[in-house]
Structure 1
């Protein structure tokens, strides 16, 4: 298990939060997989909204990459400072790349990873646009999987799951989140997953936007890795068995 945390730190070390892409680089990178599931981390590095720089969701890029390595998911992640906000604006390069990946590799489900602050009163928040971003069968599947890994609505602090309350993935907003874009425009089920800092940050890097030293809960980070890997495999199996057809917006 400790090897997973070491690997997570190594993968995250390649992300330069506030460095613009150098010549020949892009703001984001793609990691190929073998299952028809894409794990997205659009805020893996700092990004720009309304002309202001917003800090990175540190370790979401590393987690997405590690999940891809362990599960076989495809991965798209920000690794350099972005001049836009992929989770806010329409028609940005990140979404253009995401569209190409979904079509080329017949992606059947998208998990969009984000990070929330350590002070939140939950470990994980799910955003499904109040159920509009995925069929109810996927929602039930995800909640059952969370429960098996020790996360539930009535759990204590880091084990508590917040569903469509604090983060809804953009329902009723002008913001074009990744989850809204994928489910409503590409016709592929999607869920936004917000992870408390304690569930993802092994130890804060010196170049992070947040300057205070911080270390997450190693046991909970390992549990979260297991959960994400299990989630990818479960939705991939379900997509292969339920006859889900892409091509139209996902509705309940």
Structure 2
């Protein structure tokens, strides 16, 4: 099973090595969660090229395939930066898609270097973008699958209004969002396959937790109405 998962991931990752004219792809699912990978490919800065955040796009494709979540991932950004630019077609499309399909949770995947000292840093706009109780469940899932250490708003807080997590949770009616900054050690299936598979197990659990929370909330709203 592990080898099959990794083969899928490698296949998806090759998709991001190709030349694409489209800025991004968006895929529809059937559960109220969307996985976003805005930096799956490089971004051109003024004086250098910022590398893509490896395997974030492959993870978004994988969970669309395996769990049928909605997904969106960059393919050709040029100088566009979906997590920094105030006006951005990626963010606008993501917001429109969440509202059109009644999506309740956005998981925005990013990559970080190992130098920060965390496995995952959760950006929640200082607990404004998502229910803190749900964040507790997310931390438990990451700890259970040994994706540690986990920090919250340590380095990448998602406080800027142009950041996807902040933008979506502010403008999306009843939509919650969280930014996951994942260290390189846990995004390296070639050299750290066990850690990468642990990450997949943790993310799968987080998606299922969100699906359950969304369904429970829908039942409550139905009873109130």
Q: Fold-level match, TM-score > 0.5?
A: yes
Structure 2: distance between partners of 1:130 and 1:114: 18
Residue 186 (1) aligns with residue 187 (2):
no
DSSP 3-state at the match of 2:215 = helix
Q: Is the 1:89–1:176 Cα contact (8 Å) retained in structure 2?
A: yes
Task: Find runs of 4+ consecutive structure 1 residues off by over 4 angstroms.
Answer: 49-52
Residue 83 (1) aligns with residue 46 (2):
no
Structure 1: distance between partners of 2:27 and 2:64: 8
1:122 equivalent in structure 2: 118
DSSP 3-state at the match of 1:126 = strand
Structure 1 residue 165: Cα displacement: 0.7
1:249 equivalent in structure 2: none
1:206 equivalent in structure 2: none
Structure 1: distance between partners of 2:113 and 2:205: 24
Question: RMSD between aligned alpha carbons?
Answer: 1.9
Structure 2: distance between partners of 1:76 and 1:68: 9
1:162 equivalent in structure 2: 151
Structure 1 residue 33: Cα displacement: 1.2
Residue 137 (1) aligns with residue 133 (2):
yes
1:198 equivalent in structure 2: 185
Q: Is the 1:133–1:189 Cα contact (8 Å) retained in structure 2?
A: yes
TM-score of the superposed pair, with normalisation by structure 2: 0.89
Match of 1:39 among 14, 35, 40: 35
Q: Of Structure 1 and Structure 2, which has the larger fraction of its residues in helix?
A: 2
Q: Is the 2:29–2:68 Cα contact (8 Å) retained in structure 1?
A: yes
DSSP 3-state at the match of 2:182 = strand
Q: Is the 1:38–1:110 Cα contact (8 Å) retained in structure 2?
A: yes
- Number of matched residues? 218
Structure 2: distance between partners of 1:160 and 1:238: 25
Q: Is the 2:123–2:156 Cα contact (8 Å) retained in structure 1?
A: yes
Q: Is the 1:15–1:80 Cα contact (8 Å) retained in structure 2?
A: no
Match of 1:70 among 53, 66, 69: 66
Residue 219 (1) aligns with residue 208 (2):
no
DSSP 3-state at the match of 2:116 = coil
Any stretches of 5+ residues in structure 1 without a counterpart?
Answer: 152-158, 204-214, 246-252
Structure 2: distance between partners of 1:51 and 1:42: 21
**1:93-133 C-alpha deviation (Å, 9 max, x unpaired):** 10121122112211100000000113331111111011011
Any stretches of 5+ residues in structure 2 without a counterpart?
Answer: none
DSSP 3-state at the match of 1:119 = helix
Residue 8 (1) aligns with residue 39 (2):
no
DSSP 3-state at the match of 1:242 = helix
